[in-house]
Structure 1
Amino acid sequence: MAEKSISADVHIEHVHKRQFKHYNIMVIAAMCFASMGMGYSASIIGTTLAQPSFLAYFHLDTRKDALSLISTMNGLFQAGAFFGSLGINVVGDRFGRKMSIIIPSLLVLVSGACLAGSVNVGMFIAFRFFSGMGSWWLLGSVPVWMSEVAPPKNRGVLVDCHSAALLFGYCAASWIGAGFYFYHPVANNQWRAPLGFQCLPVFIVLCFMHWLPESPRWLLQNDRTEEAERILLKLHDPDEAALELQQIRNQIAVDNTLENSWMSLVTKRSYRKRTFITLGLSVGIQMTGVLVINNYGPTIYASLGLSTSQQLLYQGGFNTLGFGCGILALLVVDRFSRPTLIAGGTAIVLATLVAEAALVASYPPVPGQSQAGLKGALAMIYLYIVFAEFLLDGTQYIYFSEVWPNHLRAKGMTIAMATIALVNIMWLQVAPTAFANIGWKFYLCFIIPGYIFAVCAWIFFPDTRHLALEEIAAIFGDADEIYHVQDVTKLSLEMNGKSEHQDDV
């Protein structure tokens, strides 16, 4: 254990002027193509399942086991997601945060091409597994990298760009899928091109990867101090860079004396608390039904009596609205405490599901039914995505990356992504059968446990907003694991000199 200790209410004073440079924004924007690729890859199945040409090609409109095969397409994607989430820790800690983005990008690239070229349903299902592996690996690796290159004051906004880019991927998948529905080639294979488009964003980020910085925290963890110093000077104001370098360096010296095994996540009290919070947040957010409503959006619209073209258009509107609200979320994510956004957002989102269930139960989609009920149900689905993206979606990725210390962050994100994947295997596997057999009652499976989670999040989740990643340990009772920077004036002057020299060169 480290000799130095500070009180649990410690807060290191960062520079008051702007902490970031335009370089921050450029590298975050470039990495957002990986997030976009993940969003597109995860969402394109929604419009694909609504394409008559896709259903006809694989005989899903006539086969008796069609519902089972459709469930398997989504279930195996999430099974791949579970295994992909393991790579966040294994590759990210050993070979670097960038390598943990390069490998899954290649997986999405290859699997996307093979999905677009599938010749039978077995091939399609098999590559859905690898697509899920790459997509979910990106889902966890990108915010880890972003959180480690962003300055504390702006971390929430910059990391939330990951969520906004995901939503843009969802939006693009919806409209490209809808557009190709109205294209009628002689071969009747218009379902292939939308699947192939998922290769484009990850190809772009692979082209950028050479110029994107490695995480300075990972570099210092692996004794590559000079590289870390150069990157910090590019990323931050020189004074903030000096503080960050000294703080990270000293914190890593402390981290190296700490337990970092998987077992320690259970045996050590403060790590166990983080584990429970991560598991709770992972399960709780999925209890809002977000992936079910997105992936089976056309199915839900069909149950409300809409035609195929209307299903695709409403799905496009749903994801476009989500993208817009994800952008607006950048304005609030650092203005309210994390527990307020998580607990309050969950409660509000579930309120729209309560209204949705009540409307569908009161106005079932039968001939002659009131159009007012149908319009109300559609409005609730749209309000659902407004609040989900404005309050919840981006906040969860920020929180996952914040609550874990540097030496355990990749393990923590692995736990989060693996848990989300396992929960979604269950929901996505049963959803087609549930919608077909119990209808609106399926929403109750989300509403009841979701409200229980909202109460628990409000009571037990600590606020990590505006704290440096190395400072957050104190609020989990690990104040003795923080090295408090007492004086970085000399280092700041040295780094200012180096920065000026680099500018002259």
Structure 2
Amino acid sequence: MAYGTEYAPRRIHNDYFGVDIGLRGRWLLTVITASCAAGFSLVGYDNGIMGGIVGLGEFNKTFNNPDANTIGNIVSLYEIGCFFGALSTFVVGDFLGRRRTILISSLFMIAGAVIQAASSSVGIMILGRIISGLGMGAINSTVPILQAETSPAISRGQLVALDLTVLNIGIVVSYWVDYAFGFSGLTGSKVWRIPIALQCVFIVVLMACTLVIPETPRWLASKGREAEAIAVLERLHNASIDSEEVQNSFAGIQQALQHERAASNTGWNALFASDRIQTRKRLFLACFIQAAQQLSGINALIYYSGTLFSKSIGLDEHKSALMAGGLNMCLILGSTISIFLIDRVGRKKLLIPCIAGMSLVMCAQTGLVKKTQEGGGAIYGRAASAMLFVFEFFFSLGFQATVWLIPSEVLPLLIRTKGSALSTASNWIFNFAVVKFTPSALENIQWKTYIVFAILNACWVPVIYFMLPETKGRNLEEIDELFTTDGWHIDTAHAAADTKAAAHQSNDVEYADADTGSHKGSHKDEHIITSTLDSKAN
């Protein structure tokens, strides 16, 4: 006997605040993706905006010409705020859920933006930066989970790659906003206050989209709210409760929860458990891939691209600003291409050659910058400039989207929030280290800075090859099957997992296509939903 949709609650996401406008199928997935994209665009805008502002004469005039160390603190302490913001979701993320974490964190970001835009002392500016960072870290930790837990397996990577393309657009927008205000002839503190305040536009879009979407079915199920989880699955698939899509999705979530609960406890030590589903290994992979991204050197380019063009290559201030804006257009190009490749080629086949390419580019950059700084001629400077463009293209093509996709894929459901908090925190703490020490490195070891990044990128290749499984095309529950081998090596051709993945891909129905109104009846796994609703009714 199947239960109709009347047994599931109609208003499924108004725990504290929210607006239920009845989104289903394609439209629901579109708004969820828009919410996630707005969160990532905010990351991009905030990462890029300060790099240009701190070099403006009006900014330095307002803050009494701060020295290099003070400037470094203004820029880098934002990352410390992000670090603690990400860690905060370790404590409250599972309690609040995905939606409420994003909404509350957005309020922190608005408060931080207002404080920064109104500041007139270094202390107040740093306070605003830290408050914004707290909100950003929590958003950055939660948005990838929201996207992964609501996306169909066959296009999950594509949607995350789309989010990262929007992040890159945010970076590019921030650079050209800096350029427009810095070289437009405007005077007064508005040339830096307005660019900072403009981030509120991204925050408002993020909050508006998040207010009208439901909580993820996987989080609801993990909290024992199965009827609400089923209702969300109905909306995601735009199908009835007894349809094959809803039945199979809910059964997979329930089975994964049972498997994870049987394999380990759900306390704090569960994060580091060496259990049947290899939780400790999966946490290591999530944290490793985030740290590796930062240590690749990408944010040395994004934050200090103008400095790299001026100090390393010898361009004047105006040309450096133009080149910095153009450089980050490569991020959009690479990430746009990755949208079409990540779910076809796979994560590892994009990661490995692109990271190897980044290492080779940094090797070439080392020699070219050395020649430039030794007065070897303009041709070496032009070649060094070109290498920075190639590096960012490789990064955005293979490294960028996978870094935010892999943690949400490999982490078990029961510790996904806490694990994502730690992995995102590792991203921000290494981001802080790179941003803090890059200016000193460029000043003291000069061209040798690039060889450090070349060596680090070369080290990531064997780790990814031997330890990271291919998750393309598998739903989040099937990925557990990939972590059943002993030791730290992962057998990516695990027969059981591949068999399940193949079956899933042949039956997977895109949410976008579900708007045609698929209501196929099926009794497969129906007893799980029936028994769940029976228990809720008693």
Range class of TM-score, shorter chain: 0.7 to 0.9
The alignment partner of 2:418 has SS state of helix
Distance 2:135 2:48 in 1: 14
Q: Deviations over 1:349-382 (max 9, x none)?
A: 122111111111012275xx62211111111111
Structure 1 gap ranges (5+): 1-18, 496-505
Give the counterpart of 1:375 among 354, 357, 382.
Answer: 382
Picking from 304, 313, 318, the partner of 2:322 is 313
Q: Distance in 2 between matches of 1:372 and 1:476?
A: 50
SS in 2 for 1:251: helix
Aligned partner letter, 1:477: T
Give the equivalent residue in structure 2 for 1:396.
Answer: 403
- Which of 262, 267, 274 in structure 1 is aligned with 2:282? 274
1:160 aligns to 2:161 (yes or no): yes
Structure 1 match to 2:266: 260
- For structure 2, the residue ranges without an aligned partner over 5 or more in a row are 1-23, 486-493, 505-520, 529-538
Give the partner amino acid of 1:57: T
2:522 paired residue number: 489
The whole-number CA distance in structure 2 between the counterparts of 1:187 and 1:95 is 42
1:322 aligns with 2:331: yes
Alignment of 1:243 onto 2:244: no
CA–CA separation in structure 1 for the residues paired with 2:247 and 2:273: 35
CA RMSD of aligned residues (A): 2.6
- Cα deviation, 1:277-303, whole Å, max 9, x if unaligned, reads 223212222221011111111111121
Pair 1:135 & 2:142 matched:
no
* Contact kept? 1:280, 1:453, Cα under 8 Å: no
Alpha-carbon contact 1:42-1:135 (below 8 Å) kept: no
Q: Distance in 1 between matches of 2:206 and 2:287?
A: 30
Residue pair 1:151, 1:236 contacting (<8 A) in 2 also? no
Partners in 2 of 1:282 and 1:249 — Cα distance? 29
For 1:259 and 1:444, locate their aligned partners in 2 and report how far apart those are by CA, in whole Å.
Answer: 44
Quote the sequence identity (%): 26
Take 2:90 and 2:525, find their aligned partners in 1: how far apart are those partners? 33
**SS of equivalent to 1:122:** helix
**159 and 240 in structure 1: CA distance in 2 versus 1, 3 angstrom threshold:** farther
| CA distance in structure 1 between the partners assigned to 2:187 and 2:86 by the alignment | 41
Q: Is the 8 A contact 2:306 2:324 kept in 1?
A: yes
Provide, for residues 177-213 of structure 1, a one-character-per-residue CA deviation record: whole Å limited to 9, x for no partner: 1111123334254111111111111112212222112
After alignment, is 267-276 or 291-300 more displaced?
267-276
Say which is worse superposed, 235-244 or 411-420, in terms of deviation. Answer: 235-244
Partner residue of 1:294?
302
Does the residue aligned with 2:396 lie in a helix, a strand or coil?
Answer: helix
TM-score after normalising by structure 2: 0.82
- 1:471 is matched with 478
Q: 2:459 matched to 1:445?
A: no
Give, in angstroms, the shift of residue 235 of structure 1. Answer: 1.3
Shift of 1:142: 0.4
5 Å matches for 1:30-429?
30-60=35-65, 63=66, 66-236=67-237, 238=239, 239-257=244-262, 258-269=264-275, 270-303=278-311, 304-364=313-373, 370-429=377-436
1:173 CA drift (Å) = 0.6
Which amino acid in 2 is paired with 1:236? Answer: H
Farther-moved stretch of structure 1 (464-473 vs 417-426): 417-426
Instruction: Please say if residues 34 and 209 of structure 2, whose CA atoms lie closer than 8 Å, have aligned partners that are also in contact.
Output: no
- Cα distance in structure 2, aligned partners of 1:88 and 1:166: 21
Q: CA deviation at 1:54?
A: 1.4
The letter of the residue matching 1:207 is: A
Query: d(CA) in 2 for partners of 1:227 and 1:271?
Result: 27
C-alpha distance in structure 2 between counterparts of 1:59 and 1:436, whole Å: 23
Matched AA of 2:431: N
Corresponding letter in the other structure for 1:115: Q
In the superposition, relative to structure 1, how do residues 198 and 418 fare at CA in structure 2: closer, same or farther (>3 Å)? Answer: same
2-side partners of 1:453 and 1:187: how far apart? 46
Which amino acid in 2 is paired with 1:251? A
Corresponding letter in the other structure for 1:74: V
Residues 91, 405 of structure 1: CA spacing in aligned structure 2 closer, same or farther, 3 A cutoff? same
Name the TM-score, length of structure 1 as normaliser.
0.87
* 1-structure distance, mates of 2:267, 2:416: 12
| 2:423 aligned counterpart, secondary structure | helix
Q: Distance in 2 between matches of 1:97 and 1:46?
A: 30
CA contact (8 A) 1:326 1:390 kept: yes
After TM superposition, where is structure 1 displaced by more than 6 Å over at least 4 residues in a row?
Answer: 492-495
Aligned letter for 1:468? N
CA 1:98–1:112 in 2, change beyond 3 Å: closer, same or farther? same
Residue 191 of structure 2: SS of its match in structure 1?
coil
Give the Å deviation of 1:45: 1.2
Q: Which amino acid aligns with 2:160?
A: V
- Aligned-pair distance for 1:147? 0.3
Distance 2:174 2:355 in 1: 26
CA distance, structure 2, for counterparts of residue 157 and residue 334 of structure 1: 6
